[in-house]
Amino acid sequence: MRHVVTIGEEDARVDELLEKIADRMQEEISSLLEATTTLLKPALIMVLGGAVGFIALAVLLPMLNMSQILQ
As a whole number of angstroms, the distance between CA 5 and CA 21 comes to 10
DSSP 8-state code for residue 71 = -
Alpha helices in the chain (DSSP H): 2-11, 14-70
Given a cut of 70, whether residue 9 has pLDDT beyond it is: no
As a whole number of angstroms, the distance between CA 8 and CA 16 comes to 8
Mean pLDDT, rounded, for 32-59: 96
Q: What is the mean pLDDT of the chain?
A: 87
Residue 10 has a pLDDT of 67
pLDDT category of residue 3 using cuts at 50, 70 and 90: low
pTM confidence score: 0.56
